[in-house]
Structure 1
């Protein structure tokens, strides 16, 4: 599902009632746990957490007008998804998350390269998402991006 919004508040206001509480809770956890320097806004029509141009003027290599993306939250048709670029770019973070997930959730992990899909709203491992947020600082993310992703 695609939502047109200019702010996180506008994005959340458009969500179905059963998704609002979940997305608001994910948003609060992410904001409380992301290291200093990341900013929140709308990125790719989702809640976005990124390195602003004031810290990384080069922006995203695919479109330098965009800030360097790091994390997103989206309400899709069948799930609420958390996208985390560190899971995609850093094998140790991926392996850690995959091994920790069963300790925090009852259901099987449904994950793509950077996308974690939550189809059952009552089984979102909020504490694990909080820990994931704390794993990478802005400086670490920029170094990882420049080393592994930017070409």
Structure 2
């Protein structure tokens, strides 16, 4: 479900009522914990958190005109999703997250490479998501990104 909303507030307001509060809480948790330097934006029909061109002029290697994506949240058809590129790119961070999830969450972990899915709005482990958001600074993300993605030869 991609949104055409132009702002995070508009995105949340357009959601079904049962998702609005959960998404607003999720967004607030991220904003309160994300290190300085990241910017909130709308990207790919989701609320996104990016390294702006002012900090990383090269932008996203797939689309250099766009800022470097880091984290996104979205209300999909059957779940709320948290997309975190750091857990995709950094095995240690992924390991930490899985270990903490087992301690803090009440449901089985449902995730893909960078997507963590929550089927019920009441199962969002907001404290853990806040901790995850706080773990990586923009500079650390740039270093990981360049090491993991930009240095790889095209296949």
TM-score by length of 1: 0.98
Unaligned runs of 5+ in 2: none
Between the aligned partners of 1:123 and 1:12, the Cα distance in structure 2 is 18
After TM superposition, which residue ranges in structure 1, 4 or more long, deviate above 2 angstroms?
A: none
Q: Deviations over 1:10-54 (max 9, x none)?
A: 111110001010110010010010000000010111000000011
Between Structure 1 and Structure 2, how many residues are aligned?
151
Per-residue CA distance 1:97-122 (angstroms, 9 max, x = gap): 01110211111000000000000111
d(CA) in 1 for partners of 2:130, 2:2: 26
1:86 offset after TM fit, Å?
0.3
**Please, which runs of 5 or more residues in structure 1 have no aligned partner?**
none
After superposing the two structures, state which structure 1 stretch, 136-145 or 100-109, moved more: 100-109
C-alpha contact 2:2 2:44 (8 A) present in aligned 1:
no
Q: Provide the secondary structure at the position in 2 that maps to 1:148.
A: helix
Scaled by the length of structure 2, the TM-score of the pair is 0.95
Residue aligned with 1:133, SS: helix
**RMSD over aligned Cα atoms:** 0.7
Q: How does 1:61-80 map to 2 (within 5 A)?
A: 61-80=61-80
Could you tell me whether the CA contact under 8 Å between 2:82 and 2:115 is conserved in 1?
A: yes
SS in 2 for 1:5: coil
Within a 5 Å distance, the mapping from 1:107-126 to structure 2 comes to 107-126=107-126
Is the 2:19–2:75 contact (alpha carbons within 8 Å) kept by the matching residues of 1? yes
Cα deviation for residue 65 of structure 1 reads 0.8
